[in-house]
Amino acid sequence: MSLERKTALITGASSGIGAATALKLAANGAKVGLAARRTERLEEIVSQISRAGGQAIALEMDVVDVASVEAGVSRLAETFGSIDILFNNAGLMPLSDIDALKTDEWHRMVDVNIKGVLNTTAAVLPHMIGQKSGHIVNTSSIAGRKVFGGLTVYCATKHAITALSDGMRIELGKKHNIRVTCVQPGAVETELYDQISDPAARQQMEDLKTQMEFLKAEDIAETVLFAVESPRHVDIAEVFVMPTQQAW
């Protein structure tokens, strides 16, 4: 399905998978709303898209703040006339063992990784329901399929996104012609690891980089493009994307 005249909203778009996907969708004809808190980074990507002949706008958005989300969604719809694709990509991964009791990090992960998806979905859904079409793509993880030590709370949030995605697909597909895709990457080279404050957990991730070639953000962008360009009658419900050298 062509992305020409389609509008995509991407959260967590200032770096990593979000930024790579914004560039990829814009290069394939979509108009893109890039949402994140770091507006200076967003403006740089918007300029890059514009220089390449695409259309994009920067949306200052904190997915935890409902008013911020609703304002960004309204601005995107007013600018481009529709919202056809939502990529719920904003997320945090400050890993630590449960007995480290980093409770602030736990709550922040729940707020961003789960509530952020709910907030953005709730703001976009009325537009998709009204136009009787749409495609929601949620970023889960290998951690949404398997539990790892040191990632317990993160795994819990990503298991929630995997379950939410399947439930959304069941409820929205036949009734509203809205497709839902859950993307579940393995190890990806992004800024996500910069959020790890626990030294042991950070070293664990650094050691992992010496054992395999991580996926690149562009690999996941290609996956998202594959899902949203699939024929209208096809819903790529789940995509499990792993580095060749990663068993789990």
What string of DSSP letters covers the chain?
---TT-EEEEESTTSHHHHHHHHHHHHTT-EEEEEES-HHHHHHHHHHHHHTT--EEEEE--TT-HHHHHHHHHHHHHHHS---EEEE---------GGG--HHHHHHHIIIIIIHHHHHHHHHHHHHHHHT-EEEEEE--GGGTS--TT-HHHHHHHHHHHHHHHHHHHHHHHHH-EEEEEEEE-SEESGGGGG---HHHHHHHHHHHTTS-PEEHHHHHHHHHHHHTS-TT----EEEE--TT---
- Cα–Cα dist 225/27, whole Å: 10
Q: What is the pLDDT of residue 129?
A: 98
Which among 28, 22, 87 is positioned nearest to 57, based on CA atoms?
A: 22
Q: What is the pLDDT of residue 201?
A: 67
Residue of 80, 87, 106, 154 with catalytic role:
154
Domain ranges of the chain: 7-241
pLDDT tens for each residue of the chain, 248 residues long:
899 999 999 999 999 999 999 999 999 999 999 999 989 999 999 999 999 999 999 999 999 999 999 999 999 999 999 999 999 999 999 888 999 999 999 999 999 999 999 999 999 999 999 999 999 999 999 999 999 988 999 999 999 999 999 999 999 999 999 999 999 999 998 766 666 666 766 677 777 777 889 999 999 999 999 999 999 999 999 999 999 998 88
Q: List C-alpha distances in Å: 235 to 88, 169, 190, 240.
A: 17, 9, 27, 15
Q: What is the pLDDT of residue 198?
A: 67
CATH number of the domain located at residue range(s) 7-241 in this protein: 3.40.50.720
* β-sheet bridge partners, residue 33: 9, 57
Task: Mark 66-94 as b/e (b = at least 16 C-beta within 10 Å).
Answer: eebbbebbebbbeebebbbbbbbbbbbbb
Task: Establish whether 154 is a catalytic residue.
Answer: yes
